[in-house]
Amino acid sequence: EDQVTQSPEALRLQEGESSSLNCSYTVSGLRGLFWYRQDPGKGPEFLFTLYSAGEEKEKERLKATLTKKESFLHITAPKPEDSATYLCAVGRQGGSEKLVFGKGTKLTVNP
């Protein structure tokens, strides 16, 4: 069964304090790994798709990387507006197109 585990569950940072979020996954044939940002009471907002080990994607202060077993979301010099829950999801090759989500990391950036 496909599984996604995110750590830590919650992370508090000071503004400007860089850190990384982890997403460990088990899937039989990775079709893609997806990162989303979710604000309270809102729908997940798409950030990145990674397809193969070694791939990296960047957007503003966020950088996502992928290995064969995990993905990292690096946040450089975060700002308070980066506070949100970050969700990781995987899709499997050859099967249903559903995404299997982790439970997320709740990031709080204090000014």
The H or E element that residue 88 is part of is: strand 84-92
33 binds other proteins (CB under 8 A): no
Under rule CB under 8 A, residue 41 binds other proteins: yes
Show the site string, 70-109: x = touches other proteins by CB under 8 A, - = not.
Answer: -----------------x-x-x----xxxxxxxxx-----
Contact between 96 and 104 (Cβ < 8 Å): no
Q: Is 49 in the site for other proteins (CB under 8 A)?
A: yes
1 contacts: CB under 8 Å, gap ≥ 6:
none
**Rounded CA separation 80/24 (Å):** 26
Task: Classify burial at 72, counting beta carbons within 10 Å of its beta carbon; exposed 0-12, middle 13-18, buried 19 or more.
Answer: middle
Q: Looking at 9, 15, 17, 45, which residue binds other proteins (CB under 8 A)?
A: 45
Does the footprint of other proteins cover residue 43 (CB under 8 A)?
yes
**Closer residue to other proteins in complex, CB, 41/111:** 41
Note whether 36 binds other proteins by CB under 8 A.
Answer: yes
3-state secondary structure (DSSP) of residue 81:
helix
1 part of the interface to other proteins, by CB under 8 A: no
Alpha-carbon gap, residue 77 to 92, rounded angstroms: 33
Give the interface with other proteins as residue ranges (CB under 8 A): 31-32, 34, 36, 41-46, 49, 87, 89, 91, 96-104
